[in-house]
Amino acid sequence: MRSGAPAQQSGPEEVACAIELDGARRVYELPDLGHLLALHDVHLSVAPGQFVSIIGPSGCGKSTLLRLVAGLEAPDGGVISLGGRTPTQAAEAKLLGFVPQVPALLPWLSVLRNVTLPTRLNRRAARRGADRAETEELLRKAGLGDVMHQLPSQLSGGMRQRTAIVRALALRPEVLLLDEPFSALDEFTREALQELLLDLWGELEATVLFVTHSISEAVRLSDKVVVMAPKPGRIVEVVDIDLPRPRTQELLTSAEFHAYELKVRDLLRGAFEHGREPA
């Protein structure tokens, strides 16, 4: 498995892309309530191939930030660049993989056909994405080898979430965006999926933005943890996680790891206190 260092430049097709937000701003107009500043002056630089987590209280703009990077919404100010492309261009070039909080699988298609749907529907995705044999291999790695011909309703929640992750990865995206993908899962399923995600990230060399509510998950997975606060939604600090990979059980119980958790916890406490309504 590779370290968290930026991917080596080996050709334009194989390089994960950098993500740059320069003064990104998003305002929602609320009927009768005026403006809501969901994101205010957000600056963030993510190097190609980095794994970056975003953590912060509900309503601080984490999902909004992901939607802007995914090109699903346009910013009201500032510039967002994915390896020199706008988010819309990157989405059109099929460079983005998106895993929502609740996996949106088509109930009448098998696991395999759900995963291959994007590449069957889109020529660009088909050119970039995994072929049938590679897709089946990804499914086996994700522990879905025995259920690939079953319907989503026959699977557990963890398996459905794995299917959604494999579907995003089968596009071989340069940028992988995950919005609290493990929040509905039990602790053990969650740990298994963290391992799977790190393994596949190591192989596919994507740049990852990962939204989570869990401090230990953020520190464990990431090269950087972005801490956000609400009102207005903004970044309060970016913590570099300077720990070697793979992050062994020994490392995860070390004083060094714990010190990072405490640092993120302190920043988050500040963010929560800021977001609380006055009594």
Tokens (6 digits) for 43: 């600056």
> Which 8-state DSSP code applies to residue 38?
E
Count residues contacting ligand ADP (CB under 6 A)? Answer: 13
SS3 124: helix
| Residue 226 touches ligand ADP, criterion: CB under 6 A | no
- Phi then psi dihedrals of residue 5, to 5 deg: -65, 150
- Identify the residue among 17, 19, 25, 62 touching ligand ADP (CB under 6 A): 62
| Nearer residue to Mg ion within complex by CB, 4 or 97 | 97
| Nearer residue to ligand ADP within complex by CB, 101 or 254 | 101
Min dist CB 269 to ligand ADP, Å, is: 17
The pattern of x and - marking residues 63 through 82 that bind ligand ADP according to CB under 6 A reads: xx------------------
The site partner of 28 among Mg ion, ligand ADP, none (C-beta below 5 to 8 Å per kind) is ligand ADP
| Residue 252 touches ligand ADP, criterion: CB under 6 A | no
Pairing of strands 51-55, 224-229: parallel
Q: Do the beta carbons of residue 184 and residue 157 sit within 8 Å?
A: yes
Among the listed ranges 59-67, 79-87, 95-103, 245-253, the one in contact with ligand ADP (CB under 6 A) is 59-67
- Encoded amino acid at 110, one letter: S
Spatial distance between the Cα atoms of 193 and 203, rounded to a whole number of angstroms: 15
Min dist CB 59 to Mg ion, Å, is: 8
- Identify the residue among 6, 28, 203, 252 touching ligand ADP (CB under 6 A): 28
| Nearer residue to Mg ion within complex by CB, 102 or 109 | 102
| Nearer residue to ligand ADP within complex by CB, 30 or 255 | 30
The pattern of x and - marking residues 178 through 217 that bind ligand ADP according to CB under 6 A reads: ----------------------------------------
Tokens (6 digits) for 183: 């929040």
Residue 20 vs residues 46, 81, 84, 87, 238: alpha-carbon distances, Å? 6, 5, 9, 10, 14
Edge to edge, the sheet with strand 34-46 lists: 34-46, 19-30, 77-82
| Nearer residue to ligand ADP within complex by CB, 62 or 234 | 62
- Binders in 33-52 for ligand ADP, by CB under 6 A: 36, 38
Tokens 């403006």 belong to residue: 35
- Phi then psi dihedrals of residue 170, to 5 deg: -65, -15
The site partner of 173 among ligand ADP, Mg ion, none (C-beta below 5 to 8 Å per kind) is none
Spatial distance between the Cα atoms of 248 and 149, rounded to a whole number of angstroms: 34
Instruction: Name the residue number minimizing CB distance to Mg ion.
Output: 63
| Nearer residue to ligand ADP within complex by CB, 49 or 61 | 61
Angle between helices 187-204 and 157-169 (to 10 degrees): 10
Spatial distance between the Cα atoms of 62 and 69, rounded to a whole number of angstroms: 11
- The residues of the shown chain that bind ligand ADP, judged by CB under 6 A, are 28, 30, 36, 38, 56, 58-64, 233
